[in-house]
Amino acid sequence: MTDRTAPAASSAQAADDDSRRTVLLRGGEVHSPADPFATAMIVERGTIAWVGSEGAADGFADGVDEVVDLDGALVTPAFTDAHVHTTSTGLTLTGLDLTGAESLPEALELIRAHAAARPTEPVLLGHGWDATRWPEQRPPTRAELDRAAGGRPLYLSRVDVHSAVVTTALLDLVPGVAQRSGFHPDGPLTTAAHHAVRAVAFAGVSPAQRAEAQRTALAHAASLGIGSIHECGGPDISSEDDFTGLLELAARIPGPRVVGYWAEAVTGTEDLKKVRELGAVGAAGDLFVDGALGSHTACLLEPYADAAHTGAAYLDAAAVAAHVTACTRAGMQAGFHAIGDAAVSTVVEGVRAAAEELGLERVRAARHRVEHAEMLSPELVAAFAELALTASVQPAFDAAWGGTEGMYATRLGADRARTLNPFAAMLRAGVPLALGSDSPVTPLDPWGTVRAAAFHRTPEHRISVRAAFTAHTRGGWRAIGRDDAGVLVPGAPADYAVWRTGELVVQVPDTRVANWSTDPRSGTPGLPDLTPGTELPVCLRTVVGGRTVYEA
């Protein structure tokens, strides 16, 4: 393959931070539906002004403030990650991350080292353990954690963040926790007990620690070509101070745009005042209808294959209907976290009830969201299309837990596991998709996310690289009600990324036709080859609103 690289940064290029400048980018590949053969682009006052050919660019070169020679690099719309927990992501990046631990002893050693390195922190925080990947096939006991943490308060969320193991010292800080649902004397905490302990644990994070974690997460996102993130906050996830602090920080420093959702159930328009005052665009995100498969808390129609129950239900259809009705009347997005088929069915039943009261078109126009939406039958897929529900999905979940030997198969059995995350069926039905990571559940990794959707472990659920890329760029903007962004066309916001990558191809999931093509006669803009095992593109620059927020 031909290596496509951009030149090293210069002091002149650093001045690109002024979004009022007019900049001509030329000599590369510009991914734009306006011109599938585009090699140049003009950005003026934070907006895409023109996209076209190298020859036409000559006529503009003298009238711009700066000319950037792409030297063959690829320019694409910046990615939107449609589901992020920013502070938790930053704390994982800077603190105790157990996602790489391959055994229980290794995890305990990481805990010991972390505790020793932070002797003054009032509460130790960690994330990412997954006992299904360990030879021991069990989480640490409370006694093991007490010893590893030296008797200090410690909170360790499971990789899906729907359960946690904690030390005795942390439990002692939560009055009445043993009487809450989901409390287990020597096992992971779930549901109400988990939420109570998490609130106390994160209350121990100082404002300075929190701001540093947020800065770290935003900078990391920018370095990956992410220009926007959807922060999914709420009273069961993060504090109001955490949420408003993040929005204020993002508005103040160069970095990705942050769109905030606050997941608090409402019953009337008066209840939405608080959501608006916090700066949220919707009462949506992780408004829990159920939990997660890994923690046995996703709500199922039939029992788990490895547990004699059907999970946890947090909201019923009446509560969903009341929430959607209030949000729709107020002109605000509603949304829910729903993973299991019973939970997704509850959302559909509730949204349909709201549509019967307010009218289908009014509900459709609100573009309400469902986060995760993993277990969808054909009937539920059709209902999503009928109600115009945006599916905010995380393809990396399938990459991590799909397949015949993965966690999905363990929890559900192979037959049910094969039905999860049916992206192709959703697109065929016309369900709007917005891709994200749910970071820190799975890492910020936009090209890896596109790869996971295009090379789904269940072949019939695969979608083309182009469709996945669109869902991870324009799809995120459409999920917040913006149809004019996430694409490089004149008039769109100048949110873009510059990449070093190999030859551009057109990849499709149907094995009955060629899986890739470099023929320019197709008129389809190419994208990097994401075949598993190939090197992913490297971000050289990320620009948001015409302002450079990352440069390699």
Looking at the structure, tell me whether residues 70 and 170 fall in a common domain. no
Looking at the structure, tell me whether residues 106 and 158 fall in a common domain. yes
Question: Is there a domain that residue 194 lies in?
Answer: yes
pLDDT reported for residue 507: 84
Q: Specify burial of residue 172 (Cβ count, 10 A radius: 0-12, 13-18, 19+).
A: exposed
Judged against a pLDDT cut of 50, whether residue 531 lies above it is answered with: yes
Tell me the pLDDT band of 509, cut-offs 50, 70 and 90: confident
Read off the pTM: 0.91
pLDDT reported for residue 90: 96
- Amino acid identity at 39: T
Judged against a pLDDT cut of 80, whether residue 128 lies above it is answered with: yes
Beta-bridge mates of residue 30: 75
Looking at the structure, tell me whether residues 105 and 199 fall in a common domain. yes
pLDDT tens, position by position, 433-461: 999 999 999 999 999 999 999 999 999 99
pLDDT reported for residue 327: 97
Looking at the structure, tell me whether residues 137 and 199 fall in a common domain. yes
pLDDT reported for residue 61: 83
Contacts of 353 (CB under 8 A, 6+ apart): 317, 318, 320, 321
With contact defined as beta carbons under 8 Å apart, do 461 and 549 qualify? no
Q: Vertex 176, ends 114 and 158: CA angle to 5°?
A: 35
Question: Is there a domain that residue 312 lies in?
Answer: no
Q: What percent of the chain has pLDDT over 70?
A: 94
pLDDT tens, position by position, 330-362: 999 999 999 999 999 999 999 999 999 999 999
Looking at the structure, tell me whether residues 157 and 51 fall in a common domain. no
Judged against a pLDDT cut of 60, whether residue 8 lies above it is answered with: no
State the Cα–Cα distance between residues 435 and 476, nearest whole angstrom: 7
Looking at the structure, tell me whether residues 70 and 133 fall in a common domain. no
Residue 166, domain CATH = 3.10.310.70
Could you list the residue range(s) of the whole structural domain that residue 22 is in? 18-77+489-501+537-551
For the chain, the average pLDDT equals: 92
Question: Is there a domain that residue 261 lies in?
Answer: no
pLDDT reported for residue 18: 61
pLDDT tens, position by position, 362-420: 999 999 999 999 999 999 999 999 999 999 999 999 999 999 999 999 999 999 999 99
Residue (of 307, 191, 353, 325) closest to 345 by Cα position: 353
Q: How far is CA 452 from the centre of its chain?
A: 13
Q: Specify burial of residue 320 (Cβ count, 10 A radius: 0-12, 13-18, 19+).
A: buried
Three-class SS state of 182: coil
Mean per-residue pLDDT for 165-190? 94
**Total domain count for the chain?**
2
Backbone φ, ψ for residue 142 (5° rounding): -65, -40
Mean per-residue pLDDT for 257-261? 98
Contacts of 428 (CB under 8 A, 6+ apart): none
Tell me the pLDDT band of 139, cut-offs 50, 70 and 90: very high
Mean per-residue pLDDT for 215-239? 96
Question: Is there a domain that residue 136 lies in?
Answer: yes
Looking at the structure, tell me whether residues 65 and 104 fall in a common domain. no
State the Cα–Cα distance between residues 370 and 217, nearest whole angstrom: 24
Boundary-marking domain end, from 204, 237, 264 = 204
Boundary-marking domain end, from 161, 178, 204 = 204
pLDDT reported for residue 511: 52
Tell me the pLDDT band of 462, cut-offs 50, 70 and 90: very high
Looking at the structure, tell me whether residues 96 and 197 fall in a common domain. yes
Tell me the pLDDT band of 479, cut-offs 50, 70 and 90: very high
Mark 495-504 as b/e (b = at least 16 C-beta within 10 Å).
Answer: bbbbbbbeeb
Boundary-marking domain end, from 179, 204, 229 = 204
State the Cα–Cα distance between residues 348 and 490, nearest whole angstrom: 38
Residue (of 147, 167, 204, 115) closest to 177 by Cα position: 167
- Amino acid identity at 369: R
pLDDT reported for residue 451: 98
Residue 546, domain CATH = 2.30.40.10
Looking at the structure, tell me whether residues 103 and 160 fall in a common domain. yes
With contact defined as beta carbons under 8 Å apart, do 318 and 350 qualify? yes
Tokens of 106: 């290794």
Question: Is there a domain that residue 515 lies in?
Answer: no
